[in-house]
Amino acid sequence: MEALITPLSSSPSLSLSSSLKPNSSSFPPLTTHPFIFPKSHKEKPSLSSFRVQNSKFGNFLDLIPENKSTPIKFDLNWLDPSHKPRLDVIIIGTGPAGLCLAERVAQNGIRVCCVDPDPLAMWPNNYGSWVDELSSLNLDSCFDKTWPMASVFINDHKSKYLDRPYGRINRKMLKMKLLDGCVSNGVKFHKAKVWKINHQEFESSIVCDDGNELKASLIVDASGFASSFVEYDKPRNHGYQIAHGILAEVEEHPFDLDKMLLMDWRDSHLGNEPNLRVTNSRFPTFLYAMPFDSNLVFLEETSLVSRPVLSYKEIKLRMAARLRHMGIKVKRVIESEKCLIPMGGPLPVIPQPVMGMGGNAGLAHPSTGYMVARTLALAPILAESIIECLGSTRMIRGQPLYHRVWNGLWPIERRLTREYYRFGMETLLKLDLKGTRSFFDAFFDLNPEYWHGFLSSRLSLMELAMLSLSLFGHSSNSSKFDIVTKCPVPLVKMMGNVVVESI
Ligand SMILES: Cc1cc2nc3c(=O)[nH]c(=O)nc-3n(C[C@H](O)[C@H](O)[C@H](O)COP(=O)(O)OP(=O)(O)OC[C@H]3O[C@@H](n4cnc5c(N)ncnc54)[C@H](O)[C@@H]3O)c2cc1C
């Protein structure tokens, strides 16, 4: 698929703003009939209640994704379990989190083995990131396409252009780079699924589905959001980001080629879809789009956060209505992805004998779901704590090791700022379409240092407090009303959590 991504095209782009001028006369006004709160978002609207076009290329949902994932060709150092190898660290999972940590930890002679059912499989997800986040890690070569600006459509009449370059990560290149680092630093690989982890005082072991049992001083679980190895002692009340994305060849599209579309909150496409419009006005979704050239585009209809999770079918129906309204005719679906990211919620128990990393260690941004750049940035910090304990000069194992590594990844200051980001998520959960639009209208008017820092999880507590004041100052009266009436409960919860964490 990477071959399909062409460099920034010089062909004239169609302007979104000019080609999609609102035509309010053709759509009924926002419905005023009472909204019935669904018992659960699982309640599915019947397909027959929506008009889904069936003409040629009319409904992309019928198209089968063409790309079959091909494994990466790379010479790995495979572990020979029959030799009962001595290992310092076993890392479960070779996603972005597992590999970037393995590469760093092994730099100092620590014996690391990564275990995954398929270490050479292509990562399935499409990753995007702000360019500065990867540049600061010297990974700017790992984008297959960048856009100098991003755009946000607040509504039919208001859009914003964000002067911050954004890029689509070339996941093959990033994985190869991390694998290369791992191999150079002596990381071993074992192809298996981990079934169980056992702990003794100074050592742990994993039991694999191939019957092998491997021992190490530390087990790091980087097996993603669905992991059951990392333990929690609080209810996992996270929100969910859910999205349906396609990389598609289209007849034409209205997006500027020099901008990626970060969020399109317009709902004029639901003018003739009263049911979808009602649910969208309470649980809004937006379009995220990365135009590669005039015929190739990645499109994703996204629910930023919902609890309980919004129905996937509803997301797809909204997307079909949106593309139809925009005149986007999909000729081929090259790839499709279902994105489901648990966001916010409590951190795992700190410390505990299994070290978490990535999706299962609370690293996804609680308000946005982004995680890759942050994980890459935190890997050296966690690696340093591991090396301090297991390096040749100090053999710290058992409880002191677990204590140091967990507190290395989640020192108190980072835990407190995470509480703030969780508060951000709880606030977003309370906003309907109108509130969400006002929120982002004010948010992207903030001093770029604030909104850049917030989205990249790099603000201190003091900076977050300043951001809140500034956001309140920039908010419309209705938004201020929303904040004053809807935020006190999440605010009190956040303060309570901050106090508990501080103790
Ligand atoms: C569709 C989608 C799109 C996303 N897009 C973005 C984005 O644009 N930007 C961003 O920053 N974040 C994004 N995220 C969020 C997050 O960055 C990704 O989920 C990321 O892949 C998480 O990385 P990870 O290494 O923690 O887990 P994963 O990538 O899920 O990797 C886990 C690995 O562990 C292995 N594994 C699982 N169980 C076992 C076991 N029992 N034994 C051995 N191995 C096991 C799996 O085979 C896999 O290789 C997205 C998430 C999804 C789902």
Q: How many whole angstroms separate alpha carbon 338 and alpha carbon 187?
A: 32
Question: Are 215 and 205 within 8 A, CB to CB?
Answer: yes
**What average pLDDT does range 390-399 have in this prediction?**
88
DSSP 414: H
Which residues does 303 contact at the CB level (< 8 Å), separation at least 6? 240, 241, 242, 243, 283, 284, 285, 309, 310, 315
Question: Are 100 and 376 within 8 A, CB to CB?
Answer: yes
- Give residue 49 CA to ligand 1 midpoint distance, Å: 35
Q: At what angle do helices 477-486 and 488-502 cross, to 10 degrees?
A: 50
Atom of ligand 1 nearest to the CA of 374: 11
Alpha helix stretches (DSSP H) within 233-294:
274-282
Q: How many whole angstroms separate alpha carbon 5 and alpha carbon 410?
A: 38
Looking at residue 84, its pLDDT comes to 86
- Give residue 360 CA to ligand 1 midpoint distance, Å: 9
Q: Which residue has the higher pLDDT, 385 or 69?
A: 385
- Give residue 273 CA to ligand 1 midpoint distance, Å: 35
Among the ranges given (7-16, 59-68, 199-208), the one the predictor scored with the smallest mean pLDDT: 7-16
Is a pLDDT exceeding 80 seen at residue 418? Answer: yes
Is a pLDDT exceeding 60 seen at residue 6? Answer: no
- Give residue 394 CA to ligand 1 midpoint distance, Å: 33
Q: Which residue has the higher pLDDT, 487 or 97?
A: 97
DSSP 3-state of 476: coil
Which residues does 65 contact at the CB level (< 8 Å), separation at least 6? 246, 333, 334, 335, 336
Above pLDDT 90, what percent of the chain?
77
| 473: its two tokens | 């100052």
Question: Are 192 and 207 within 8 A, CB to CB?
Answer: no
Is a pLDDT exceeding 70 seen at residue 349? Answer: yes
- Minimal-distance CA residue to ligand 1 atom 1: 339
Is a pLDDT exceeding 70 seen at residue 257? Answer: yes
**Probe residue for ligand 1, chosen from 210, 221, 341, 365 as the CB with the greatest number of ligand atoms within 8 Å:** 341
Pocket of ligand 1 (CB under 6 A): 92-98, 115-117, 123, 125-129, 193-194, 222-224, 337, 339-341, 358-359, 364, 369-373
Which residues are paired to 143 by β-bridges?
A: 169
Looking at residue 23, its pLDDT comes to 34
Q: Is the dihedral of CA 337, 338, 342, 344 positive or negative?
A: positive
Atom of ligand 1 nearest to the CA of 229: 41
pLDDT class of 144 with cuts at 50, 70, 90: very high
- The string of DSSP letters for 119-186 reads TTSPP-S--EEEHHHHHTTT-GGGEEEEESEEEEE-SSS-EEEE-S-EEEE-HHHHHHHHHHHHHHTT
Is a pLDDT exceeding 60 seen at residue 9? Answer: no
pLDDT class of 26 with cuts at 50, 70, 90: very low
Question: Which of 13-44 are b and which e, b meaning 16 or more Cβ less than 10 Å from the residue's Cβ?
Answer: bbebeeebeeeeeebeeeeeeeeeebeebeee
Is a pLDDT exceeding 50 seen at residue 154? Answer: yes
Looking at residue 325, its pLDDT comes to 96
**Probe residue for ligand 1, chosen from 116, 242, 247 as the CB with the greatest number of ligand atoms within 8 Å:** 116
**Probe residue for ligand 1, chosen from 72, 221, 223 as the CB with the greatest number of ligand atoms within 8 Å:** 223
pLDDT class of 228 with cuts at 50, 70, 90: very high
pLDDT class of 308 with cuts at 50, 70, 90: very high
DSSP 3-state of 272: coil
Is a pLDDT exceeding 50 seen at residue 46? Answer: no
Question: Are 396 and 390 within 8 A, CB to CB?
Answer: yes
Helix (H) or strand (E) holding 218: strand 213-221
- Give residue 177 CA to ligand 1 midpoint distance, Å: 17
HSE-CB at 478 with a 13 A cutoff on CA atoms is 10
Q: How many whole angstroms separate alpha carbon 189 and alpha carbon 424?
A: 39
Residues 441-455: tens digit of each pLDDT: 999 999 999 999 999
DSSP 3-state of 269: helix
pLDDT class of 42 with cuts at 50, 70, 90: very low
**Probe residue for ligand 1, chosen from 99, 101, 114, 127 as the CB with the greatest number of ligand atoms within 8 Å:** 127
Q: How many whole angstroms separate alpha carbon 172 and alpha carbon 379?
A: 19
Alpha helix stretches (DSSP H) within 211-305:
274-282
- Give residue 97 CA to ligand 1 midpoint distance, Å: 8
Q: How many whole angstroms separate alpha carbon 313 and alpha carbon 90?
A: 39
Claim: this prediction has a pTM higher than 0.85 = yes
| 347: its two tokens | 């951190």
Looking at residue 54, its pLDDT comes to 42
Residues 258-294: tens digit of each pLDDT: 999 999 999 999 999 999 999 999 999 999 999 999 9
**Domains of the chain, earliest start first:** 15-69+239-343 (no CATH), 81-143+167-235+347-410 (3.50.50.60), 421-502 (no CATH)
Q: How many whole angstroms separate alpha carbon 27 and alpha carbon 33?
A: 16
pLDDT class of 501 with cuts at 50, 70, 90: confident
Indicate the average pLDDT of the chain.
Answer: 88
Atom of ligand 1 nearest to the CA of 361: 26
Q: How many whole angstroms separate alpha carbon 146 and alpha carbon 130?
A: 9
Looking at residue 371, its pLDDT comes to 98
**Probe residue for ligand 1, chosen from 145, 372, 376 as the CB with the greatest number of ligand atoms within 8 Å:** 372
Looking at residue 414, its pLDDT comes to 96
**What average pLDDT does range 114-125 have in this prediction?**
97
Looking at residue 165, its pLDDT comes to 98
- Give residue 185 CA to ligand 1 midpoint distance, Å: 23
Looking at residue 163, its pLDDT comes to 98
Tell me the one-letter amino acid at 195: W
